[in-house]
Copies of this chain bind each other. A is one copy, B any other.
Amino acid sequence: MSSYVRLRLDLAYDGAGFHGWARQPGLRTVQGELEAALDTVLRVHGSSLTVAGRTDTGVHARGQVAHLDADPEAVASAAGAGDLDPCAALARRLNGVLEPDVRLRRVTAAPGGFDARFSATWRRYCYRIADDAAAVDPLTRGHVLAWGRRLDLDRMNAAASQLLGEHDFASFCKKREGATTIRSLLDLSWARVDGVAEATVRADAFCHNMVRSLVGCMIAVGEGRREPAWAAEVLARRERDSAVTVVHAHGLTLEEVGYPPDDELAAQADRSRVVRTLAP
């Protein structure tokens, strides 16, 4: 493509019906559905998205961000003549083509230097657990885990506080050759919202299974099976511990992706590319 426009896509999806974000032949994935919709609406072939958070099977998103490099003429033509805002028109067209379990919330022309993945400075996830029959809501059962035992959030917060900061999170990650497992955990805390236990988990980035392993570790503490200090012991070991359960995907939602001010987008992207590809 000699000349293109980079579009920022803000999107939300119910992970239940998808085999995760990443395109896979023969499986329904968010990336696959979106790229097919883009091909249809833009009348092109091979639309290719870059995403901020590659969610696993069953994981939801409310604040996912992706980018697409598109032919400006295809965008204008899809929007239709005379449309004052071609990006908004594109979002409407895409939502008309997509199933209701994935929605474009906004399409905008990305600022210079923007990269949905590498410009991001943090990702914020929420894990929700209804650990009390009185708090179980059938209307939210698709994204809130029902748990049979009561959780002590004070204990879980005591465990969480020991994990904050920059560490090698190898104990909580599915290892991938040649990639670092050092991450900065910026927020990790539990609170009750309408009776539901909600974890806020924010980091510069996450390695595979990291949020669900952290939550699994803290559930063991919240139930009283482990002491809060156990979390720090697991972390210090720097290798996967079979006692740490990777909890169910359906309680996990990617809520928000953070980006720096526009004039720092390019520099942030350069920094991330170096760090993320460095061997540990």
Contact = CB atoms under 8 A, between A and B. Distances in A.
A104 interface: yes
Contacts of A100: 138, 141, 146
B92 A62 contact: no
Contacts of A95: 133, 136
Interface in A1-40: 10, 12-14
Nearest to A130: B103
Q: Can you tell how many copies of this chain the complex includes?
A: 2
Interface in A236-273: 253
Nearest to A148: B92
A106 B134 contact: yes
B104 A138 contact: no
Contacts of A141: 14, 100-101
The SS class assigned to the A binding surface is mixed
A120 interface: no
A212 interface: no
Contacts of A140: 139-140
A133 B146 contact: no
A93 to B, nearest CB: 11
A150 interface: no
Nearest to A136: B103
A103 B142 contact: no
Interface in A114-171: 133-134, 136-143, 146
A221 interface: no
A91 interface: yes
A102 interface: yes
B139 A142 contact: yes
Contacts of A103: 133, 136-138
Given A91-B133, A103-B137, 16 more contacts: A10-B134, A12-B136, A12-B138, A14-B141, A62-B139, A92-B133, A95-B133, A100-B138, A101-B138, A103-B133, A104-B133, A105-B133, A105-B134, A105-B136, A106-B134, A142-B142
